[in-house]
Amino acid sequence: MNAQALPMTDVETAPADAEAAFVGRLMAGEDAAFQELYRRHAGDVFRLACRFVYSETEAEEVVQEVFIAAFRYVGQFRGQSRLKTWLYRITVNRALKRRRWWRRRREVGADLLPEGALPLPGPDVRIADRQRLGIVRGLLDGLDARKRAVLVLHELEGLDTKEIADILECPRSTVLTRLSRARHELIDRARAAGVALEEG
Amino acid sequence: MAAPFDDEGARREVDRLLAPLREAPGPEWTPARAARVREAVFARRRRSTSWRAWAFAAAAAAAVAWTLWPVAPVDDAGDVAAPVAASPTPVSPGDRLTAARMLPSGAEVEVAGAVRVAEATAAGTRLVLEGGAVTSRVPKLRPGEHYVVETPHARVSVRGTRFTVELLASGATKVHVTEGVVEVTPRDGRAAETVRAGGSLVVGPTPRASAEAARAAEARGDWAGAVRLWRAVAERSDDALERQNALVAAGRLLSHHDVAAAVDHWRALAAEARGGVHHEEAAFRAVEALRDAGRVAEAAEAERRFREAFPRSAYAP
């Protein structure tokens, strides 16, 4: 037998066992485990929330809501996905809710963004790049929420389609379809807006 | 064979298109931010997990707090007499003024609230009033010099005078002039008005201005003020959805800071928004508030009804 086989197996199974044990501590209501959960994942949850909401303040509120929901509903965590995926699912749901709320406000004419709207990069970034960044954000914002979510999770967060399917609780084939349509729609919008796609 | 959804060309184009967004540095999860959010999260968790043990203590504490809570002093906006520094002190854009001082332009200000400096040079001063009141004594300005106080819905500019700008609890801006003349320009497009010595002018907020003021109150941590302003937006709004948007904003604050009030608030909104876009959130927040308030049986029943009404709700994973 290959001498490396056993360690490889250990490496693959140990994190799953460790996570199961950790989830057990969470379900038992152990305060240190909740602190650990927050310490490990709050930064990622915040960064992900920033991809969906309109301001840093909103993103902080999403982090609050996610962990409060996680603490409250950890008993319903069935272990069918990773803990981080489960947190991401709550994050996306909460962030999309807030996003819809702001969109509705704009639709009725209250076109105000929340305080602390996510900034464009500072003056050290070239004006052309900043302009392009603003345009790209606008194009992305024009997609419907489901397509945008798939595109953000895959293209910006680097998640694979299986993880995205777990997060959005839909079949992987649905993710692939949305991803394909989102890409084509984004390209069409970019062309309509006169954005040069061939720029590297 | 290529998968039906595998469009390599589109993938590459989108990859290039989104590259700047992927590479742009996002907001940082700083230690200060992590600590602030952690405190809010765990305070909520402590509240919801230990309500039984603390129910009586909390009730007693609340009773004591009710009797001892200090009443906020009401400033006489037209008669501020705090001492002002005799010489100018340097200030920079972004600084917050909290006391009486002389600015580089020679103007003296007395602050009873929250004032942010937007510009402060020998040639010009621009202050942003975010709450409370600021009184200014402005020397005669030379041509090209300016002195301006901005509020969420008015811009007050002067030519050598003494005046007070105050944000009232209602969200309106009150300008009171004791010496000289000021010009008040409402931000909603109405014509500027001149206020002379001894005169006052109140610029009433539009729902939009009240919404801005509410967000400013939230930003500085004045949640009670923000709730009051969001409710003012709701009262003034002619549009049902805009009204409910404002009530949702108020409710979110109440959920964090006053769960007893949040229960009533969300229940009322759920009834008002029945069948509408905010029905689901209001109903769920009412469940959360009931739970946070320790009304476990009511919360369980409300959650059962919520899940019946919204079986695929994103609010209850």
Summarised one tens digit per residue, pLDDT across range B69-127 is 222 222 222 222 334 455 677 888 888 887 778 888 888 888 877 889 998 887 888 99
- For residue B56, the model assigns a pLDDT of 37
Is some CB atom of chain B closer than 8 A to the CB atom of A34?
A: yes
What residues in B contact A176, CB-CB < 8 Å?
3, 5
Percent of chain A at pLDDT > 90 equals 26
A42, A86 contact by CB (below 8 A): no
Asked if the Cβ–Cβ distance from B7 to A180 is below 8 Å, we say: yes
**Token code pair at residue A14:** 């140990």
Mutation test of the interface with chain B: which of A118, A183, A184, choosing the one with the most B Cβ atoms within 10 A? Answer: A183
- For residue B48, the model assigns a pLDDT of 57
- For residue A52, the model assigns a pLDDT of 87
B148, B155 contact by CB (below 8 A): yes
Domain ranges within chain A, ordered by starting residue: 14-119, 120-200
Residues of chain B with CATH 1.25.40.10: 208-309
The class (CATH top level) of B96-204 is mainly beta
In B, minimum Cα distance to A70 occurs at B317
| pLDDT digit string, tens, across residues A87-142 | 999 999 988 887 776 666 554 444 344 444 444 444 444 455 656 777 888 888 88
**Token code pair at residue A135:** 């345009």
| Segments of B9-70 assigned E as strands | none
Asked if the Cβ–Cβ distance from A195 to B17 is below 8 Å, we say: yes
Q: Does domain B208-309 have CATH number 1.25.40.10?
A: yes
**Region A159-182: what's the mean pLDDT?**
91
The CA-atom distances, in angstroms, between B207 and each of A110, B212, B312 are: 9, 9, 34
- For residue A40, the model assigns a pLDDT of 92
Alpha helix (H) residue ranges in B237-278: 240-257, 259-272
The class (CATH top level) of A14-119 is mainly alpha
Residues of chain B with CATH 2.60.120.1440: 96-204
Element (H, E) at A112: none
Q: For domain A120-200, give its CATH number from 3.40.50.1980, 3.40.50.300, 1.10.10.10, 3.80.10.10.
A: 1.10.10.10
> Which of B6, B20, B239 has its CB closest to that of A132?
B20
Alpha helix (H) residue ranges in B50-187: 51-68
Residue A27 above 60 pLDDT? yes
Give me the interface pTM, i.e. the ipTM.
0.75
Asked if the Cβ–Cβ distance from A155 to B22 is below 8 Å, we say: yes
Q: Which stretches of chain B drop beneath a pLDDT of 70? A: 1-6, 44-87, 159-160, 169-171, 188-190, 205, 238, 316-317
Task: Compute the nearest-CA separation of A151 from chain B (Å).
Answer: 9
- CA dist B186 and B218 (Å) reads 23
Is some CB atom of chain B closer than 8 A to the CB atom of A104?
A: yes
> Which of B17, B212, B216 has its CB closest to that of A136?
B17
